[in-house]
Amino acid sequence: MKINIDQEKCIGCGTCVAIAPNTFRMNDETNKAEVINPPGDSEEIIKMGVESCPTAAIVIE
């Protein structure tokens, strides 16, 4: 599974990190989300995080 976060679209809301903390984390310098371990959480949870992103910044390939 390859997960990309569009850094231009990410507004740093933290929702994906709250839902799938083993897959995403907030970058302290950019205040945007990044992928730490794909797939650190179950596919179902990751998909929930993707669908919850308000700007559709996360893309699974």
- Contacts to ligand SF4 by CB under 6 A: 5, 10-16, 32-33, 53-55, 57-58
Strand partners, 12: none
**Residue 5 CB coordination number (10 Å):** 19
Least Cβ distance, residue 48 to ligand SF4 (angstroms): 11
- By the 8 A CB rule, do 15 and 54 touch? yes
Closest CB to ligand SF4 among residues 18, 42: 18
Least Cβ distance, residue 52 to ligand SF4 (angstroms): 6
- By the 8 A CB rule, do 2 and 46 touch? no
Least Cβ distance, residue 27 to ligand SF4 (angstroms): 10
